[in-house]
A and B are shown apart, each in its own frame.
Chain A
Amino acid sequence: MEIGIELVRNRIACALEAFRQVLYGAGAHEIVLYTVRLRANMENLFILVTLGDLIGVPILPPYYSLRLLPYLVPQVSSWKRRVLRERDILDADGLDLLA
């Protein structure tokens, strides 16, 4: 009997958690995605200005950029992929808002 009640409680808890996640996905997820992209754009620009030479932009890293290098190395490969990835009109911001 107690195991049965526990099972029902767990199932209700799982269902509520799933509902909460669906509500988050429908309401707030696009805001989070947008904020993350906003931050990533600024990061892209910063790394471009400091280490643009890595993707062929003729910005020779000055002394201060090289001092930042150890902190930026973990992000360089994903930064390169983000900046150089092929984009088209469907990558424009807000497409997911337009239903």
Chain B
Amino acid sequence: MNTLIALVIGVVVIYLAYMFYAKRVDATIIKADPKKATPAKMYMDGVDFSPTDRNVLYGYQFKSIAAAGPIVGAITAGNLWGWLPSLLWLLVGVSFIGWVQDYSAMMMAVRKDGDSLTAISHKLISPRTRTIFLLFIFVYLLMIVGAFGNMLAGTLNTQPSVPLGIVVLAVAGMFAGQMLYKWKMDLIVTTIIVVGVTLLAILIGPLVVDAVKGFNGALNQLGLMIYYVETTGAVLPFTTSYMFWLLFVVVFSYLGATLPIWRYAQPVNYIGFWVMALTIVGGLLGAVLALFVKPAAATFTLAAYKVYDAGVGGALQPMWPMLFVTIACGAISGWHALVSSVGTGRQLEYETDALPVGAGAMFSEMLLALLALLAISVAGKLTGTAPAMFASGIGGFLSVFGLDPTYGAALGFAAFVIIVITVTQLALRFMRVVLAEWLGDTWAPAKNIHIGTIISAILMIIIVLSGTFTYLWQLFGGANQLMASLALMLVTLWLVETKKNPTYAFWPMVFMYVTTLAANLITAYNLYVTVLLRNIGKPELMFAVIGAGVMIVIAVFLDVAALYIGWDAWKAYGRLKAGKVATAPAE
């Protein structure tokens, strides 16, 4: 198997799914009408509701949904189960579930006056659904910052070529905000300067490896350690240098969470987009050309199928349901429904734009996940972490253009870290916002941006120091995919309310609902067996045990909350089927 065949299969599947399934649903069930006024045209306040060209919206939607998720999920799943099951889930998931959710959530928002998903859930199902959605969002954010914080600290600690690029990214981000908003400089000039400087720092990174290694070595002389438990049951240490880099990530994210968006978070995200875009375009082109120019960089060396070896830990990792929550973005992701309803849905100029924008962007995101899977598949024989294998694969693709694989891998690594860290800082920001929304009325200090961020950062650190990245990622996937099943549940109810055939949304909803309920229970079991039960009472494993306990509670909470929503949705279905007016009962 090679990269070209995999890419051709991916493109063919996208074409068939879009032309013969998605278009059919759009024409015969939803019946998108270009003559109907969308909320963007009806309200047209030039701020939130503003009709926008479909090509612009496609780019905007793609940027909003495609970042670290499709990359991390694909490389984690490829490492656990091999490339074949991961590829199959990407193709089947996006064709029958992913585009359905993104497109339908967008159309539902358009036909409901631009209401957000949470507002629609309040009206269509019950008021407590909205509250539960908020809790889901908080858990989703907590798991993201935990999983990404863990991955970032590990990568910065073990890859001494990467930190320089990240430090320069932070400084360049600050400058970009100043240049754009205060000095009113031209966007193109600003882009060339800040992105150029960041890329230069990334390429210089391999030259300062010794200095960073020396720095890490000096830190490790202090000998502070925190122990964690691997999924196999092995007890391993976090070193002083790891904890330093974790604090670095926390400070980076703290700035993103507390400074005005224009000052730091947005320009850093903007620079990260360009680094990601160059890596994706270069990586995809390289993956296509590799077979002709450098066949070794195109041939898969990762096993097609692996049975997960839990070692003496006793962890369960059955393909169903765990694969389906490990690869989230790229196949199906609940977060997309939230972004589709609020952001893009209020800017659609014509109803007929929803399909190319919503479904089109989702199919394109699958290609990004596919690229990540290809990168890890060609690097498969290497040992090391999944990010290292991803970077090595990308380095191989970029070497097709004559770039030295060392620099190509450094670019791959840095691109990966930049993408992940930009998401982490925004996730911490939103945790602070959600905390203020939740607790602000009962505990006023929660509204203070610094207190809210510090609380979120402490929770993040506890979760990171629990150490078990795989479980963190799978719990994140569980929360995310559960949100997806709830979004599909809303779509199903909306279709029933409007007397349309709900089948195309109903069965994906059932599949995701049952799968994520099961996955969360298995994750809770794994944490209990491999971490909590074996290590409770050991003072050196305090963080691991506390973290595992917190995650078990979260996993169970997610399932209980989902069952509540499922019950309320069932009652709502009964109301809608009976033809009663679809207003939810008062709380």
Contact = CB atoms under 8 A, between A and B. Distances in A.
A22 B58 contact: yes
B69 A90 contact: no
Chain A contact residues, majority secondary structure:
helix
A6 interface: no
B261 A90 contact: no
A87 B433 CA distance: 13
Contacts of A28: 187
Contacts of B266: 30-31, 34, 94, 97
Contact of A97 (B66, B130, B265): B265
B262 interface: yes
A44 to B, nearest CB: 9
Contacts, number: 135
Contacts of B261: 34, 93-94, 97
Contacts of B57: 25
Interface string B327-352: 00100000100110111000000000
B64 interface: yes
B56 A99 contact: no
B197 to A, nearest CB: 17
B63 A25 contact: yes
Q: Which among A22, A28, A29, A98 has the greatest number of chain B C-beta atoms within 10 A?
A: A98
Given A34-B262, A34-B266, A98-B423, A26 B47 contact: no
A81 B43 contact: yes
Interface stretch (B115-123, B166-174, B312-320, B389-397): B115-123
B226 interface: no
A3 to B, nearest CB: 26
Contacts of B422: 97
Contacts of A11: none
B108 to A, nearest CB: 14
A90 B338 contact: yes
Given A31-B180, A89-B118, A90-B116, A97 B45 contact: no
Given A36-B46, A82-B48, A95 B119 contact: no
B47 A82 contact: yes
B430 A98 contact: yes
Q: How large is the interface on B (under 10, 10 to 19, 20 to 34, 35 or more residues)?
A: 35 or more
A34 B269 CA distance: 13
Contact of A26 (B43, B44, B130, B277): B277
A7 B84 CA distance: 43
Interface residues of A, number: 35
B116 A36 contact: no
Interface string B130-150: 100010010000000000000
Interface in B385-437: 422-423, 426-427, 429-430, 433-434, 437
Contacts of B58: 22, 25
A91 to B, nearest CB: 7
Contacts of B60: 25-26, 29-30, 96
Nearest to A40: B47
A73 B52 CA distance: 26
Interface of B: 43-48, 50, 52-53, 55-69, 116-119, 130, 134, 137, 180-181, 187, 191, 261-262, 265-266, 269-270, 273-274, 277, 329, 335, 338-339, 341-343, 422-423, 426-427, 429-430, 433-434, 437
Interface of A: 18, 21-31, 34-38, 40, 78, 81-82, 85-86, 88-99
Given A25-B58, A97-B269, 9 more contacts: A21-B59, A25-B59, A25-B60, A25-B61, A26-B63, A26-B273, A27-B270, A82-B45, A86-B119
